[in-house]
Amino acid sequence: MEEHPIILMTRCIAIFIVRRTCWRCLATVRGQHQHRGMSRSSVVERARSKTTEVFHPIEELEQQGVLATDVKKLREAGIVTCLGVLQRPRRLLLDIKGLSEAKVDKIMAAARTAAGDVSYRSGTECLAVRQRVFHLRTGSDALDTLLGGGLESASITEVYGEYRCGKTQLCHTLAVTAQAADESHAGRVVYIDTEGNFRPERIRAIATRFSIDADDVLENIAHARAYTTDQQLELLREAAALMCESRFALVIVDSATALYRVDYSGRGELSARQQHLNQFMSTLGKLAEEFNVCALVTNQVQACPDGAAAMFSSNPLKPIGGHIMAHASTTRLALRKGRGEQRIAKLVDSPCLPEGEATFEINAGGIADATD
């Protein structure tokens, strides 16, 4: 017996409503799960934002009403981030061609807005920011222990000593270990070479020790040869532009003072030399802090000119650069030769680590723990 058309239509409508309701319930449940997943992710991002300061590209000033042409002038002057504007004295901003006092005031106000809170912080907030700091391994466990875990980011580590004491070998080893770190800390390397001692074949040998593809390691090293102190400073400013484009973990300057001994001579140019060196070290420190990278500089030494003082000193050699280098460097390591290929590192200065010594050696794989 055939059903009445109205009854058949009613039954079809009922089935359609039930199925539609079920699909809506299922979609609601899926949406809740996705929403919960997004909530966890957003919590992680918020927690990360509290402990990690993200740099703000200079182009963000356009969102604050700054003309694109003025932003272009800032970038051409070597300023690539909003914080970089605030780190530059007002009088130097006025020296940029085409920027009037009114424009500079507007740019600085816009930079403060874009860069966020650059005023006072509580000690708790400072501690949270410090959580972003990481350490790069040197290749020697003993040296890492001396440094509190390795080379510290967001600060400058200075290594000084006479020739053939391991300064450049340490630079080469760290250029590899910076890429062998965990994913959250690994990154490319800026290598400013002022003495012509960079050797790609040495990088290959060290990469083999750490079981990393040597071609990839070399590809991730941005090397530049500097011949004058002005070029050395300009290369450092260009490095900031590179860091806006990709992740970097380490900046190496080998060495920081060699060209200053060439470009400036005598006591008559001492003031100009120290002022230029101070500007270079200040720029490096700001770069390391803003982009949270490790900064490693090597330094040459000179014989103590005071013979009487050297007679009663355990080490008659002292680093070049005087108080400028001493105050600009966060951590200072003095290297000296030991027995055979062994070298001794002495922690001379650190804001949070005690003085001490560590022995390591130099082998085919770079810096390594000393063997008896």
CATH number at residue 78: 1.10.150.20
- Residue in 229, 216, 218 with CA at minimum distance from that of residue 262: 229
The domain of 168 spans: 132-369
pLDDT band at 12 (very low <50, low <70, confident <90, very high): low
In this prediction, residues 303-326 reach a mean pLDDT of: 75
Asked whether residue 213 falls in the same domain as residue 244, the answer is: yes
Asked whether residue 242 falls in the same domain as residue 271, the answer is: yes
* Residue 59 in this model has a pLDDT that exceeds 80: yes
- Residue in 197, 195, 332 with CA at minimum distance from that of residue 260: 195
* Residue 211 in this model has a pLDDT that exceeds 60: yes
pLDDT of residue 31: 42
CA distance 189 to 250: 5
Instruction: Identify the DSSP state of 251.
Output: E
Asked whether residue 329 falls in the same domain as residue 285, the answer is: yes
CA distance 310 to 305: 8
**Which has the minimum average pLDDT: 108-112, 167-171, 224-228?**
108-112
pLDDT band at 316 (very low <50, low <70, confident <90, very high): confident
CA distance 309 to 316: 8
**CA count, 13 A, side-chain hemisphere, 174:** 34
pLDDT band at 17 (very low <50, low <70, confident <90, very high): low
Asked whether residue 234 falls in the same domain as residue 97, the answer is: no
> 225: domain CATH number?
3.40.50.300
* Residue 36 in this model has a pLDDT that exceeds 70: no
Asked whether residue 94 falls in the same domain as residue 185, the answer is: no
In a domain, 214, yes or no: yes
pLDDT of residue 317: 86
Give the count of beta carbons closer than 10 Å to the beta carbon of residue 330. 18
Q: 3-class DSSP state for residue 81?
A: strand
In a domain, 50, yes or no: no
* Residue 284 in this model has a pLDDT that exceeds 50: yes
Asked whether residue 76 falls in the same domain as residue 224, the answer is: no
In a domain, 291, yes or no: yes
Look at the chain and report how many structural domains it folds into: 2
Asked whether residue 178 falls in the same domain as residue 83, the answer is: no
% the chain with pLDDT above 90: 74
Given 87, 115, 143, the domain boundary residue is 115
* Residue 50 in this model has a pLDDT that exceeds 70: no
Asked whether residue 297 falls in the same domain as residue 164, the answer is: yes
In a domain, 25, yes or no: no
DSSP string, 269-285: GHHHHHHHHHHHHHHHH
CA distance 18 to 23: 9
CA distance 36 to 32: 6
Let me know: does 345 contact 143? Beta carbons within 8 Å. yes
In this prediction, residues 25-38 reach a mean pLDDT of: 39
Task: Give CA separation, 70 vs 67, 91, 97, 105, 176, in Å.
Answer: 5, 16, 10, 12, 39
Asked whether residue 193 falls in the same domain as residue 88, the answer is: no
In a domain, 11, yes or no: no
pLDDT of residue 332: 97
Helix ranges, the chain (H): 5-51, 68-76, 82-86, 90-94, 101-115, 123-130, 141-146, 167-180, 200-209, 214-219, 229-243, 258-263, 270-291, 307-311, 322-328
